[in-house]
């Protein structure tokens, strides 16, 4: 058995989507990009319907991948995530069928996210990402991811585009040109919506073993 950082995700409200085939194609496209850029030990793959899962060697890689997945699909497609850290065992020769505490914890985490969403007020901000791990590190990570999601909940479509660009290393000047606005306008929005804080938080969490 090997300890890894696990991720289980699903699409929020996929059953009511007007174009389920288009949604699936979009999900596959974003997942392919994440697999090419985050070095998973078990590449992200769609399992059943609108659910997907993957695993990484480090916690920091998994939380970074979750952010890239969610922001890569927003604002058109909303997703939720359960993450954990623990041992996993391959049950099939090709390794695609797995079991173990790592996956059980990720399943617990996404269930926590779903339950909290169901209990939230209609006009309240919703946490879409949770972490489960029986350690102080797990407790701290869960708090950090909830904080991250509450910041994401306030972003409009333009801020989502800017955040995606910043996470991929695009300069504010280049983003201003793409948005056809002034660099000053981008800078104001970056600070107003705490996009710079979200990027720093992602970098800090990304270094976790």
The answer to whether residue 175 is domain-embedded is no
Categorize the per-residue pLDDT at 124 as very low, low, confident or very high, splitting at 50, 70 and 90.
confident
Give CA–CA dist 43/202, Å, rounded.
20
- Does residue 119 belong to any structural domain of this protein? yes
Distance CA(66)–CA(6), nearest Å, equals 10
Is residue 95, in this structure, part of any structural domain at all? yes
Residue 109 in contact with residue 83, Cβ under 8 Å? yes
Render pLDDT for 15-52 as a digit per residue (tens, 0 to 9): 677 788 888 899 999 999 999 999 999 999 999 878 99
Residue 132 belongs to some domain of the structure:
yes
What is the domain-level CATH number for residue 140?
3.30.70.1230
Q: What is the mean pLDDT of the chain?
A: 93
- Quote the pLDDT of residue 92: 65
The verdict on residue 165 lying in a domain is no
- pLDDT tens-digit readout, 136-179: 999 999 999 999 999 999 999 999 999 999 999 999 999 999 99
pLDDT of residue 206: 96
pLDDT value at position 173?
97
pLDDT at 98: 79
pLDDT over 80 (residue 202)? yes
Beta bridge partners of 193: none
- Do β-strands 129-132 and 79-90 pair in parallel, antiparallel, or remain unpaired? parallel
User: Which range of residues forms the domain containing residue 21?
Assistant: 2-152
Asked whether residue 76 is assigned to any structural domain, the reply reads yes
* Confidence check: pLDDT of 55 > 80: yes
Query: How many structural domains does the chain have?
Result: 1
Provide the pLDDT for residue 122: 75
Q: Is the torsion defined by CA of 6, 12, 16, 18 positive or negative?
A: negative
Q: Where are the beta strands (DSSP E) in 69-205?
A: 79-90, 98-99, 129-132
In a domain, 166, yes or no: no
Q: What is the mean pLDDT of residues 73-92?
A: 90
Grade residue 107 by pLDDT with cuts at 50, 70 and 90.
Answer: very high
- Is residue 195 included in any domain, yes or no? no
* Arithmetic mean of pLDDT, 192-209: 97
């Amino acid at each position: 058995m090997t300890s890894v950082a696990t991720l289980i995700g699903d699409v929020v409200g996929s059953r009511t989507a007007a174009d389920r085939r288009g949604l699936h194609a979009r999900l596959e496209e974003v997942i392919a990009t994440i697999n090419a850029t985050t070095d998973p030990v078990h590449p992200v793959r769609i399992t059943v319907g609108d659910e997907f899962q993957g695993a990484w060697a480090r916690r920091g890689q998994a939380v970074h991948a979750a952010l890239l997945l969610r922001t890569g699909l927003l604002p058109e497609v909303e997703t939720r995530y359960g993450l954990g850290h623990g041992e996993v065992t391959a049950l099939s020769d090709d390794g695609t069928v797995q079991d173990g505490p790592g996956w059980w914890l990720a399943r617990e985490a996404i269930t926590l996210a779903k339950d909290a969403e169901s209990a939230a007020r209609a006009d309240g901000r919703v946490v879409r990402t949770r972490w489960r791990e029986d350690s102080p590190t797990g407790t701290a990570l869960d708090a950090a991811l909830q904080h991250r999601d509450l910041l994401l909940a306030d972003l409009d479509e333009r801020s989502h585009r800017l955040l995606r660009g910043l996470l991929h290393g695009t300069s504010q000047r280049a983003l201003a040109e793409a948005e056809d606005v002034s660099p000053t306008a981008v800078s104001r929005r970056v600070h107003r919506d705490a996009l710079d804080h979200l990027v720093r938080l992602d970098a800090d969490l990304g270094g976790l073993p």
